[in-house]
């Protein structure tokens, strides 16, 4: 294909760097002073002042093709087409004479569903991010690669709210008609990743009947696939990177009639307080050439990174190719899942470490998407954990109404007989400041017991506040830890806290009651 960007309106840039290799992008990023090389090879960048996503600055372009199907509101804010085109023209003028980096990639490991994408950036490290995170075409595939969606990321260009009709200098504009994303005013790498995920969440249910999912996935020795849904900080990446199971992907997947497939070819791990003992596979990736460390503190003299330092943000990240994880599934695909786990970081400490869900309960908790969001994942949050509800464990990335995704998940659970579980990776024996954070080795032991069938014949007890079925015993786990009622020292305090959280669940779910069956609403105790 002709190596130019005229189809994207870019005609006056000095040099276009096409599909450069990892070493070449390292050299360019260092030459451009975009970051520093750390001990053992990772590339360290700082994206301050924006060290997390800017959800209030994301807009969907209001045009006839999507107007009647978008889930408009707090998550998806509309922006007029003329505003988009004006900002696009200004951005093109801004990059005139600048060098730009291009990566042609795919989103979607399944040959049936993969989408050619193009990532155009002014920073070399963003091009390295795209090369590490998305699926890299073979040399022959590059010859015929034609992008179906393009991202133009120019952090040095900022909007003027009074002129451009946006909230701040930061903007993430998604235009489904033009098949174009514009990102300006922020260098945070997660904006590129989540823009592509939002696009997949729009196209796949409507065009292919495929369920897009904010989850990680792995497969056991017997070929049994497991899905791990959850928001940032709940353990998707850590729990799916299990040395006894093969990783399919750590964050975003699709589920169609043939099975599960990864959207990406890389991983995006949260690395604050990462432990070499508890999470050796991910820890090793933070010591490798080809990994990008985002907002991780580094000693400039020794070039050693400090994964325990949160002085920049608690939302420290690492991008790396998935094949950095030993035994990762090279094809990125797996069979229909046998187990589905909903991960929640319960800051109140009233949910059990593990509970089995009925299909109707699974739909209730999927639509609720409860967790305690860890400080630092998004700009503007306080440093204290906050209890939140995020539909489908990924509301910020859902262009369509959450019940669209819930119906697709419900149909697949029934068709393939998947067993559903709720897993609390947060606190036990009390909330933040009173109880203790459940250790990852304990959570892994509980999860493995469920995945390996060790709980199939175990007795279960039903808790009175959430209707959850809690195992009475689990190998290698103290019995008193499994049931929150027994784990708390003050049972009256537990009951009061549990009632308060249950009331929050019911209040949040009121928005869905007219969209779901009575059986799903009744799955939660009244």
pLDDT single digits (tens) 178-201: 999 999 999 999 999 999 999 999
pLDDT, tens only, 314-340: 999 999 999 999 999 999 999 999 999
> Would you say the CATH fold of 270-324 matches that of 6-36+50-207?
no
The pLDDT value recorded for residue 155 is: 98
The pLDDT value recorded for residue 384 is: 54
Are 223 and 335 a contacting pair, CB within 8 Å? Answer: yes
d(CA 482, CA 239): 19
Look at 62-66, 74-78, 229-233, 338-342 and tell me which has the smallest mean pLDDT.
229-233
The pLDDT value recorded for residue 374 is: 52
Number of Cβ atoms within 10 Å of the Cβ of 458: 14
Residue 427 confidence class, pLDDT cut points 50, 70, 90 = very high
pLDDT, tens only, 372-417: 765 544 455 444 557 789 999 999 999 999 999 999 999 999 999 9
d(CA 407, CA 400): 12
Cβ burial of 257 (10 Å; 0-12, 13-18, 19+) is exposed
CATH class of 6-36+50-207: alpha beta
d(CA 457, CA 452): 12
Are 230 and 237 a contacting pair, CB within 8 Å? Answer: no
User: 145-162 burial, b if ≥16 CB within 10 A, otherwise e?
Assistant: bebebbbbbbbebbbeee
Q: Which percentage of the chain shows pLDDT scores above 70?
A: 97
Residues in the chain: 526
Taking the chain, what is the end-to-end CA distance rounded to the nearest angstrom?
Answer: 61
Helix or strand or coil: residue 336?
coil
The pLDDT value recorded for residue 526 is: 67
- Kindly list the domain boundaries of the chain, sorted by start residue: 6-36+50-207, 211-266+331-521, 270-324
The pLDDT value recorded for residue 1 is: 42
**Helix boundaries (H) for 252-313:** 280-285
d(CA 305, CA 290): 15
The pLDDT value recorded for residue 48 is: 97
Residues recognised as catalytic = 53, 194, 214, 232, 236-237, 251, 317
270-324: CATH superfamily: Phosphoenolpyruvate Carboxykinase, domain 2 (2.170.8.10)
Which string of DSSP letters, residue by residue, matches 3-69? --BGGGTB---S-EEES--HHHHHHHHHHTTS-EEPTTS-EEE--TT--SB-GGGEEEEE-TTTTTT
Q: Which of 316, 376, 373 has the alpha carbon at shortest distance from 308?
A: 316
- The C-alpha angle with vertex 318 and arms to 444 and 201, in degrees rounded to 5, equals 80
217 backbone dihedrals φ, ψ, rounded to 5°: -150, 140
Helix or strand or coil: residue 62?
strand
The pLDDT value recorded for residue 2 is: 44
pLDDT, tens only, 132-158: 999 999 999 999 999 999 999 999 999
d(CA 342, CA 351): 12
Average pLDDT over residues 11-20: 86
Positive or negative, the CA dihedral 248, 390, 363, 111 is negative
d(CA 365, CA 428): 20
Per CATH, is 211-266+331-521 categorized as 3.90.228.20?
yes
Look at 33-37, 244-248, 275-279 and tell me which has the smallest mean pLDDT.
275-279
Task: Give the β-pairing of 305-306 and 252-256.
Answer: unpaired
Average pLDDT over residues 505-526: 92
Residue 8 confidence class, pLDDT cut points 50, 70, 90 = confident
Number of Cβ atoms within 10 Å of the Cβ of 514: 8
d(CA 370, CA 346): 8
The pLDDT value recorded for residue 6 is: 85
Are 47 and 189 a contacting pair, CB within 8 Å? Answer: yes
d(CA 371, CA 40): 35
Q: Which percentage of the chain shows pLDDT scores above 90?
A: 88
């Amino acid at each position: 294909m002709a190596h130019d960007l005229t189809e994207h309106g870019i005609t006056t840039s000095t040099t276009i760097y096409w599909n450069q290799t990892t070493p070449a992008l390292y050299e360019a990023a260092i030459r451009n002073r975009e970051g520093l090389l750390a001990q053992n090879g990772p590339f360290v960048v700082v994206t301050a002042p924006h060290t997390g996503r800017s959800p209030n600055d994301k807009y969907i372009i209001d045009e006839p093709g999507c107007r009647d199907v978008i889930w408009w509101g707090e998550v998806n804010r509309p922006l007029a087409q003329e505003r988009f085109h004006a900002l696009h023209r200004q951005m093109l003028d801004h990059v005139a004479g600048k060098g730009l980096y291009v990566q042609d990639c795919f989103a979607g490991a399944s040959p049936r569903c993969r989408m050619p994408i193009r990532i155009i950036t002014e920073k070399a490290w963003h091009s390295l991010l795209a090369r590490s995170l998305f699926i890299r075409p073979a040399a022959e595939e590059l010859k015929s690669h034609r992008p179906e969606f393009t991202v133009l990321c120019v952090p040095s260009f900022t909007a003027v709210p009074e002129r451009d009709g946006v909230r701040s200098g930061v903007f993430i504009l998604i235009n489904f008609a033009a098949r174009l994303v514009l990102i300006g005013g922020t260098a945070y790498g997660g904006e590129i990743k989540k823009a592509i995920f939002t696009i997949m969440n729009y196209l796949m249910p409507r065009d292919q009947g495929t369920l897009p999912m904010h989850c990680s996935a792995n497969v056991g020795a017997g070929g049994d696939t497991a899905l791990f849904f959850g928001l940032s900080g709940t353990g998707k990446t850590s729990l799916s990177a299990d040395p006894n199971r093969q990783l399919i992907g750590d964050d975003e997947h699709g589920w169609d009639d043939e099975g599960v497939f990864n959207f990406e070819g890389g991983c995006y791990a949260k690395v604050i307080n990462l432990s070499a003992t508890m999470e050796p596979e991910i820890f090793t990736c933070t010591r490798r050439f080809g990994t990008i460390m985002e907002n991780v503190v580094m000693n400039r003299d020794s070039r050693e990174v400090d994964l325990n330092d949160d002085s920049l943000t608690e939302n420290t990240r690492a991008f790396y190719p998935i094949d950095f994880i030993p035994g990762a599934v090279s094809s990125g695909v797996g069979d229909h899942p046998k187990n589905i786990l909903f991960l929640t970081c319960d800051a109140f400490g009233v949910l059990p470490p593990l509970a089995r869900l009925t299909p109707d309960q699974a739909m209730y908790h999927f639509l609720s998407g409860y967790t305690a969001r860890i400080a630092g994942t998004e700009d503007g949050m306080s440093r204290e954990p906050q209890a939140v509800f995020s539909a489908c464990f990924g509301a910020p990335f859902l262009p369509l109404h959450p019940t669209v995704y819930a119906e697709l998940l419900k149909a697949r659970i029934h068709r393939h007989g998947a067993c559903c579980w709720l897993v609390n990776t947060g606190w036990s024996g009390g909330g933040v400041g009173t109880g203790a954070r459940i250790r990852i080795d304990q959570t892994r032991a509980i999860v493995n017991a469920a995945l390996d069938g060790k709980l199939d014949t175990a007795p279960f007890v039903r808790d009175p506040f959430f209707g959850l079925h809690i195992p009475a015993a689990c190998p290698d786990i103290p019995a008193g830890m499994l049931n929150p009622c027994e784990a708390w020292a003050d049972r009256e305090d537990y009951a009061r806290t549990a009632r308060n959280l249950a009331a929050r669940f019911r209040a949040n779910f009121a928005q869905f009651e007219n969209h779901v069956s009575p059986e799903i609403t009744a799955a939660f105790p009244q």
